C-alpha cells in the first residue's frame, strides 16, 4: 500500500492576503506597524502626539480600526495626517483584506510609515497577521502589571512595548503598578522586545519612542 502525504499546509485567505500586503510594503520600502492594546490604553493619543511632533521628520498615515464610529480617525485627520477608517461591525480584530483596502486608500507613496490602530483587544488581533513589518503593544499603567503574564501571546510577538500613562505613577500611590515586573515578564517572553515607558499626555519618554521609529523607518528604506 502506497502512503500518500496530504499534510501540506494550505494558506488561509487571510494568510495569503497578509503575504501580498507584506510584499507590497517591502517592495515600496515602507515601515508598517500594527498597534495593539486593550481599549483605553491611549493608542490614539500616542498617535496624535507622535504625528504632530514628528511632522517635519517622517510622514505618517493611519489605518484606523474600530467596531463602530470614526471618532479616532477624526482625531488623526485633525493633525492633517491621512487616515482610513475601517469599522468591523462587531469583529474583534482587523483582517489582512481590510488592511489591503486601507493601503489602497492611503497615499502610500508619499508616506514613510503606516500605523494600523487595531481594534481594542489583547487577544484576537495578536492571532491575525496583516502583512505588517511588526507589532507594537501598548499597556497603560491603569490596566495593571499582570497583563504580560495573562496575555503572553501579543507580548511574545511584539517588537516594542509602550508602557503608557506613567504620569499616573506619581499620583501619591493611587495606581498600584510595578513597572519592573512588567519589564521582566515581557522580556522573559520576548528577549528582543524594546520597552519604552511613556506618557502621551505629558510627553515624558516619547523621545525614545520617536528615535526608535526614525531608526526603523531608515532601516526599511535600506531594505533590498
**Residue-wise pLDDT tens digits, 138-180:** 999 999 999 999 999 999 999 999 999 999 997 666 789 999 9
- Assigned C-alpha cell, 1: 500500500
Does the predicted TM-score (pTM) go above 0.85?
Answer: yes
Q: Please list the alpha-helical segments (H only) found in the chain.
A: 13-27, 43-53, 71-77, 96-104, 147-150, 152-157, 179-189, 206-222
Is the predicted pLDDT of residue 2 greater than 50, yes or no? yes
Phi, then psi, of 155 in degrees rounded to 5: -70, -30
- Provide the residue ranges of all domains of the chain, joining segments of one domain with +: 12-219
Is the predicted pLDDT of residue 193 greater than 70, yes or no? yes
pLDDT confidence of residue 223: 79
Provide the angle, in degrees to the nearest 10, between the axes of the packed helices 96-104 and 13-27. 30
- Assigned C-alpha cell, 134: 511588526
Count Cβ neighbours within 10 Å for each residue of 149-173 and write b for 16 or more, e otherwise: eebbebbbbbbbbbbbbbbebeeee
Long-range contacts of the stretch 75-81 (C-beta < 8 A, 24+): 75/44, 75/48, 76/44, 76/47, 76/48, 76/51, 78/48, 79/48, 79/51, 79/52, 79/55, 80/55, 81/51
pLDDT confidence of residue 185: 98
pLDDT tens, residue by residue, 8-32: 454 588 999 999 999 999 999 999 9
pLDDT confidence of residue 7: 43
Q: How far apart are CA 61 and CA 76, in angstroms?
A: 9
Annotation: CATH topology of 12-219: Rossmann fold (3.40.50)
Amino acid at each position: 500500500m502506497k502512503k500518500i502525504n496530504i499534510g501540506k499546509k494550505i494558506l488561509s485567505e487571510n494568510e495569503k492576503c497578509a503575504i501580498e500586503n507584506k510584499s507590497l510594503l517591502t517592495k515600496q520600502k515602507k515601515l508598517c506597524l500594527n498597534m495593539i492594546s486593550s481599549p483605553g490604553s491611549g493608542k490614539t493619543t500616542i498617535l496624535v502626539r507622535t504625528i504632530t511632533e514628528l511632522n517635519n521628520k517622517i510622514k505618517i498615515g493611519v489605518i484606523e480600526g474600530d467596531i463602530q464610529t470614526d471618532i479616532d480617525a477624526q482625531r488623526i485627520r485633525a493633525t492633517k495626517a491621512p487616515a482610513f477608517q475601517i469599522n468591523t461591525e462587531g469583529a474583534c480584530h482587523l483582517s489582512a483584506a481590510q488592511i489591503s483596502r486601507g493601503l489602497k486608500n492611503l497615499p502610500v507613496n508619499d508616506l514613510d510609515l503606516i500605523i494600523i490602530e487595531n481594534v481594542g483587544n489583547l487577544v484576537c488581533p495578536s492571532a491575525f497577521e496583516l502583512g505588517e513589518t511588526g507589532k507594537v503593544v501598548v499597556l497603560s499603567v491603569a490596566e495593571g502589571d499582570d497583563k504580560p503574564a495573562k496575555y503572553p501571546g501579543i507580548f511574545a510577538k511584539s517588537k516594542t512595548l509602550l508602557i503608557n500613562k506613567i504620569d499616573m505613577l506619581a499620583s501619591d500611590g493611587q495606581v498600584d503598578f510595578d513597572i519592573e515586573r512588567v519589564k521582566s515578564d515581557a522580556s522573559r517572553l520576548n528577549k528582543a522586545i524594546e520597552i519604552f515607558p511613556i506618557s502621551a499626555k505629558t510627553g515624558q519618554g516619547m523621545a525614545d519612542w520617536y528615535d526608535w521609529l526614525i531608526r526603523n523607518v531608515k532601516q526599511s528604506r535600506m531594505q533590498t
